[in-house]
Structures are given as structure tokens and as C-alpha cells.
Amino acid sequence: MNEKKLDQSNKSIGGKARAAKLSQEQRSEISRMGALAMHANKERPSLPTATHKGVLKIADLEIPCFVLDDGRRVISGRGMTNAIGMKGRGQGIARISGLRVVNSFENKELSLAIQKPIQFLGGSPKVGVPSDGFEATVLQDLSEALLQARDAQLLKTEHEIRYAQFADMLIRSFARVGIVALVDEATGFQADRPADALQKYLELLVSKELAAWVKKFPDEFYENIYKLKGWTWPGMGKNRYSVVGKYTRDLVFERLAPGLLPELEKKSPKNEKGQRPSKLHQWLTQDIGNPMLAQHMHTLVMFQRLAISNGHGWNRFVKTVDQVLPKKGATLEIPFIMDSSVT
């Protein structure tokens, strides 16, 4: 008999010896508990499983992330705390749910998502042990809530201010590339996903109520122009002052790329009524032009918010933009940001 068989034989003998010492009641109780455990396992709904995993790196941050077999992109609870600069020990989910900003604004979806994390398998090195996490977009929602709290001067402690600084950095990164695409890249899922997977994912997320957030020119951009000028904001339902169009050309198209504005105007010349057949931004390419516009608009809105919160007016705001985002000149150096297929 070899050593392995001998060890198994000894274990079997030991098990039988222990069983022999148990009373009938004890053996019945053990059997009952085993049956209950088996029943619970059968009744418990199956958890999604991580098919891809990796580490999302943003600056010096390392955020564990996963793609589940149901298509959801997930960030671990500890990854969420790392992302906003939350230091110390403890369960990440409990610490995030304790943040005041989670309940400071009327964002019930954020509060609900944090209160009910996703349980999934494949995130822990221990087989069969579930992990907790959040959908990747919750990190962006949390970052926006922190920035809202900062703008409303609700952050009181040094820790909260640091969280907002991290959130600001994250939002800037998200403006360049969508968080879903980042997770796919970090996990290697980008090699497996269908070519239109990100577009379909976006369509699932964006409802009619949220459509305003994917506008090329967000409503807030125009509302902030009125605030900085000291004008009464009539809302998006009414015609804006004609000079606002001039401001848009100045702040946006003259600063995106050298010579871009005149080229866009050539593509969509005015008719006899002074109207253009298509919007200028419709001529921007999907892969380069539109991301550049999105990043530029995000930066402009951030500068607008900063100017408004500091009590600055229009002239001070424009001066800041001139310093940070100067006009690009008249020579078109990067024609690939325009889409020649638009008709």
C-alpha cells in the first residue's frame, strides 16, 4: 500500500471512529444540517461569473475590474475606494455607502446601486466564494456626485476634498475614453466583443430621459453662457440670442483645430435664407473629431462652473479660456478630424 492510499485509509478510519462516538441525536442533526445546506444551494439563484478580469490603470491608480457572463462591466468594492483616494482598511462597499455625498443629491439610482452591490463569482481566488462589486458606470456617477458636492460647497473634511480631487481626475479621463471601453481594454475583452458592442451598450443605457447627457452641446453649456452674461435663462424651449451662436463658434470651433471652422463652413454653406443644411459638428469624424469635441466641451463646462462658483463674469471666463484653450489659427493641420462622407 503506497503512502497516498495509507493516508486515505487512516482518514477513513478516523472518520468512522468519530462517527461512532456521536449520539443518534447528533448524527440526525448533522444529516439535517447537510440536507438544509444542499436545499439552500439548490434554491439560491445562480450568480453571474466573471469571464474576463484585469486591472484598470488610471494615473497611479490600479482598479480591479471584471466583465461578467451577462455582459455587465464591474469594478470591485475595493477598486471603488481606491479610485476616489479612500485610504484605510475595511470593506469597500460599506465605506462607500457611508459617504454623505451618496445621499446629498436626488440621485436615487446611485444610492440604490451602492446599497445593492452585484454579487458574482470568479473575482476571488477562492473557488465558489462570491465577490461584491459595482457596475463600472457607478464610478462615474459617484465621481459626478462628489464634484456636485464640491461645487455646492458641501465637502467639509480634508478627506472629502481629496475624494473630489480624485473624482475630478477620473471625470477628465472618462471624457477621453468611455469607462466601458477602458474596462474592456484592461480585461482583454476588446478582442472578443462584437464590433458594435459598445454602441449597443450605450443604447441600453441611454433612455429618452437621459438623452440630454449625450448631446454634442449640453444644455448646461448654453445656460452657463446666460449666467456668465447676467441674462435670464429662458430654458432650451425658447430661441437663444443670436449672439450665442457667435460665442459657440468662438469658444468651440475656432479652438478645436487650426483652420477647422472655415472648412466646416465650406461643407455646409448657408442658403438664401441664411441657414445651413446641416450642423457643423455633423462633419466631425466619429473616431477623432467627436471625441475631441466631447473633451473640449467638458473642459469648457468645467471652466464655466468654476467661473460661476467664484463669482466671475463673462469677460473673466473668456480670458481664462484664451489662456488655456487659445484659438488655433487658420492653417488646417489635421484634416482627419472631418468626415467627408456626410451629405
Are the CB atoms for 93 and 117 separated by under 8 Å? yes
CA distances from 21 to 7, 17, 18, 24, 101 (A): 21, 7, 5, 10, 58
Which position has the grid cell 471584471? 66
Write out the chain's pLDDT in tens, 343 residues.
455 444 445 545 555 556 566 677 666 666 665 554 454 445 456 899 999 998 877 656 778 999 999 999 999 888 888 888 887 655 556 667 667 666 665 567 787 888 888 999 998 888 888 999 999 888 888 888 888 888 877 777 777 888 888 888 777 666 655 677 777 777 887 777 776 665 555 445 333 333 333 467 888 899 999 999 999 998 877 778 889 989 998 999 888 887 788 877 887 787 777 777 667 767 776 667 777 888 888 889 999 999 999 999 999 999 999 988 888 764 444 444 445 554 4
* pTM of this structure: 0.43
What does residue 308 show for φ and ψ, rounded to 5 degrees? -65, -45
So where are the chain's domains? 50-202, 214-337
